[in-house]
């Protein structure tokens, strides 16, 4: 079997989606599955849909094209503000897109008219994360301008939290987003179909005791794929955290003395911390490195310690005697490590438990409560 590789348990992804969709559905919140961390892998996207997601979303048009080429025909939304240069492709492959620039919306409108389509527009509002979005005081004015354009239709508003700032959304911010939806409807007239409250960082709020108001959509990637709450990294109760496993092969094993002190010529290299091996531990080199994944985001097996890494070597120490030349070592990944590994050209993707779709849990009766543990 090829190494390095990522083993993907599709059934665990389905069940994670079922758990979240089953908890949010009764509160009137739909799940939009975000596939950007898996580079729009069609089989993984299908597992998310089979689990009860109402649609898919991605940040890159190349990923959306991969979804379409893989047979995904349902609604896909582009969640990063489209590039002007890609307006035609966005209209061709996406039903909707999140937008912050009126010039981009105008380009989308023009492309949609040429293709005899109506492209859905969701306005992204800046609610405190500091990454992207329209100022709340300007949203109604821009919404009115969108309403005058042919080729596009105003479908809703959305906000983003905890991506750049790392701060969880507050109940006050969510209430303000709901108020903005009401304000836009009062000014523009039509009902906003979508009020998207954010990403996986919103789950503690979404499953809490407070009313969710107008919020009827969450864009979820990390929670579904890794079963964790992004801000704390804590496992979400009832969710699988091991749907993805990175496997690498040992290419060298030996007991070596602790390294001599090193004088770094490049000051930036001084940040690297080389951990000396103990007398009882073996030093192991694996065929994977910074070019393949975010090394700092790997969870090492019990009994193993990270020594260091280069572009294509990972050096660890281990007290586990069965680890020999040619042995495969398995790692769990955080979101950053998963994202980099899925995009690495030399890592094979192996799908496990690729079974036919099953009925989503939220259509089978009472769902389990989603809690953080």
Q: Read out DSSP for 342-369?
A: HH-TT-EEEEES-PPP---GGGSSPPPP
Q: Which helix (H) or strand (E) holds 285?
A: strand 282-286
The separation between CA 227 and the C-alpha centre of its own chain, rounded to angstroms, equals 11
> Whole-angstrom Cα distance, residue 245 to residue 222?
15
In 3D, which of 137, 156, 166 has the Cα closest to residue 75?
Answer: 156
What is the reported pLDDT for 372?
Answer: 43
- Tens digit of pLDDT for each residue in 281-320? 889 999 999 999 999 999 999 999 999 999 999 999 998 7
Q: What are phi and psi of 360, to 5 degrees?
A: -55, 145
In three-state secondary structure terms, 116 is coil
CATH of domain 9-227: 3.20.20.10
The answer to whether residue 156 scores a pLDDT higher than 90 is yes
Please give the residue that has the higher pLDDT: either 277 or 186.
186
Please give the residue that has the higher pLDDT: either 237 or 56.
56
- pTM, whole model, 2 decimals? 0.88
- Tens digit of pLDDT for each residue in 53-72? 999 999 999 999 999 999 99
* Domain boundary assignment for the chain: 9-227, 244-352
In 3D, which of 166, 146, 148 has the Cα closest to residue 156?
Answer: 146
The answer to whether residue 361 scores a pLDDT higher than 60 is no
pLDDT above 70 as % of the chain = 86
Please give the residue that has the higher pLDDT: either 94 or 234.
94
Q: Assess contact for 17 and 363: CB atoms under 8 A.
A: no
- Tens digit of pLDDT for each residue in 29-39? 999 999 999 99
CB-based contacts of 213, cutoff 8 Å, min separation 6:
174, 175, 178
Q: Does domain 244-352 have CATH number 1.10.3470?
A: no
Q: Which helix (H) or strand (E) holds 298?
A: strand 298-299
Q: Mean pLDDT check: name the lowest of 103-117, 152-166, 264-278.
A: 264-278
What is the reported pLDDT for 362?
Answer: 35
- Tens digit of pLDDT for each residue in 245-255? 999 999 999 86
- Residue ranges of the alpha helices (H) in the chain? 10-24, 42-50, 61-69, 87-93, 102-114, 136-147, 171-188, 203-206, 222-226, 335-343
In 3D, which of 363, 335, 352 has the Cα closest to residue 12?
Answer: 352
Q: Do domains 9-227 and 244-352 have the same CATH topology?
A: no
Q: Assess contact for 14 and 51: CB atoms under 8 A.
A: yes
Token duo for residue 268: 């930036």
3-state helix, strand, coil in the chain (%, to 5): 35, 25, 45
What is the reported pLDDT for 270?
Answer: 47
């Amino acid at each position: 079997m090829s190494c390095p590789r990522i083993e993907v348990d599709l059934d665990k992804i389905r069940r994670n989606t079922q758990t979240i969709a089953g908890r949010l559905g009764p509160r009137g919140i739909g799940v939009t599955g975000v596939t950007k961390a898996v580079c729009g892998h069609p089989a993984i996207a299908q597992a998310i849909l089979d689990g009860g997601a109402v649609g898919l979303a991605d940040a890159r048009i190349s990923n959306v094209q991969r979804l379409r080429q893989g047979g995904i025909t349902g609604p896909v939304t582009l969640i990063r503000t489209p590039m002007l240069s890609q307006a035609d492709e966005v209209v061709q492959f996406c039903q909707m897109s999140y937008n912050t620039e009126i010039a981009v919306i105008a380009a989308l409108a023009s492309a949609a008219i040429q293709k005899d389509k109506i492209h859905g527009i969701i306005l992204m509002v800046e609610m405190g994360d500091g990454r992207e979005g329209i100022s709340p005081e300007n949203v109604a004015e821009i919404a009115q301008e969108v309403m005058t354009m042919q080729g596009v239709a105003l479908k809703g508003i959305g906000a983003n939290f905890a991506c750049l700032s790392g701060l969880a959304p507050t109940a006050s911010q969510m209430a303000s987003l709901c108020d903005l939806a009401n304000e836009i409807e009062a000014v523009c007239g039509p009902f906003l179909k979508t009020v998207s409250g954010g990403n996986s960082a919103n789950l503690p709020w979404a499953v809490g005791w407070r009313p969710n108001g107008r919020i009827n959509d969450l864009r979820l990637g990390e929670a579904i794929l890794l079963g964790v709450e992004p801000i704390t990294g804590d496992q979400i109760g009832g969710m699988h955290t091991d749907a993805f496993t990175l496997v690498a092969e040992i290419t060298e094993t030996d007991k070596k003395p602790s390294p001599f002190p090193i004088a770094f010529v490049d000051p930036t290299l001084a940040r690297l911390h080389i951990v000396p091996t103990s007398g009882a531990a073996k030093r192991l080199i694996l065929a994977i490195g910074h070019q393949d994944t975010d090394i700092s985001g790997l969870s090492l097996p019990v009994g193993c310690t990270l020594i260091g890494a280069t572009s294509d070597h990972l050096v660890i120490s281990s007290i586990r005697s069965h680890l020999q030349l040619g042995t495969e070592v398995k790692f769990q990944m955080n979101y950053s490590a998963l994202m980099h590994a899925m995009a690495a050209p030399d890592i094979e993707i192996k799908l496990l438990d690729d079974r036919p779709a099953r009925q989503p849990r939220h259509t089978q009766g009472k769902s389990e409560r989603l809690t953080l543990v």
